[in-house]
Amino acid sequence: MCRFVSTDTLSQNEDDMLICLPGDRLCRVEDNIVVGQGTYEQGGYIYASKSGIINIDESNEKCQIVSVHKPGFHLTIPATGDVVTARVLVTTPKFAKCAIFCVRNVLLESSYRGLLRKEDVRETDKDRVDIYKSFKPGDVILARVVNQMEQSFMLSTAEAELGVVVAYASDYRKNRIPMVPIGWSEMQCPQTTIKEPRKVAKVLPESSIKSEK
């Protein structure tokens, strides 16, 4: 199973592949945690310098080495109906431009262009959709490929299970803590309690969503 780094504490088990993107903050630098290949240190933290799978080498008794590597890639092209993972690059009143970096559970060596139109954000109330209240640049989303254009892939997040899975508050440069869903149209920073609207992917059980009460 693949999952994306979203905390400053790394943990791995045999069933998980922890995937990161360039610039993702992985963990704090400690006396026993040092940088390895594909990472760099800045401001007391270890960051990923490339996209790939995070590896924690614990073979050294004195320290753990955090590195990022790319597995053996093979050509994977998104097809109509595929669920893809993408990062939102630009938002406009009519659409969001995205970079597709994962098809199903296959991490791509290079990204594909994705386009998510306003009318494909939700299944209902399409005329009331506001792109700026659904996504922000930097968000990681799950989307379904609905069509292939000459230069890009048309995406949809209309299904309840599709939408934002990782997002940071607008002031993320000051606070690099991922927000958590408090509903299917809102997320909140656990540190500052700032709330922001999003089209949240319903990938978590109802009981895990914070109550507004």
Structure confidence at residue 10 (pLDDT): 58
Of 13-17, 157-161, 177-181, 209-213, the least confident: 209-213
Q: Which residues of 89-123 are buried (b: 16+ CB within 10 A; e: fewer)?
A: eebeeebbbbbbbbbeeebbeebbebbbbbebbbe
Q: What is the CB-side half-sphere exposure of residue 141 using CA atoms within 13 A?
A: 33
Judged by DSSP in three states, 132 sits in helix
The pair of structure tokens assigned to 131 is: 């792109």
Could you read off the pLDDT of 87-124 as tens digits, one per residue? 999 999 999 999 998 898 888 877 899 999 999 999 98
Q: Is the pTM of this model over 0.85?
A: no
Residue 68 near residue 38 (C-beta atoms within 8 A)? yes
